Amino acid sequence: MYGVTFHSYKKRLSEILEQGNRDGVFEKQNPFMIQLMIVSTFTNYQTTKNIRKYIENSLKGENKELKDLNINENSLIEELTNKIIKGIKC
């Protein structure tokens, strides 16, 4: 997948968490648990694409609050990043 192996991804995530721990930004975390949070979020996002599109089409013009959510990959990445950082900050 895009030239990135699971091992290199896991190693880089471990490095980020260790550096954050050394800098006092993060508490000690299990890299596998963080990886599960990231991967499961993107897996869920990808596998629900059709149902989200169906709901979006069904709600057009009927529920402005839901229509204005405008969930996309960039907003998902930003929100997930903020939640992970908030969860592991000291």
C-alpha distances (whole Å) from 69 to each of 17, 23, 57, 60 are: 31, 36, 13, 12
Tokens of 28: 């000690």
| Poorest-pLDDT segment among 20-29, 33-42, 81-90 | 81-90
Query: Model-level pTM greater than 0.85?
Result: no
Model confidence pLDDT, tens digit, residues 42-74: 888 888 888 777 777 766 666 555 555 666 667
The rounded distance, in Å, linking the Cα atoms of 65 and 86 is 26
Q: Between residues 78 and 23, which one has the greater pLDDT?
A: 23
Bridge partner residues of 26 (DSSP): 89
Q: For position 63, what pLDDT does the model report?
A: 56
**Across all residues in the chain, what is the average pLDDT?**
76
Q: For residue 42, which of 14, 3, 19, 9 has the smallest C-alpha distance?
A: 9
- Local structure of residue 25 (DSSP, 8 states): S
Check pLDDT > 60 for residue 40: yes
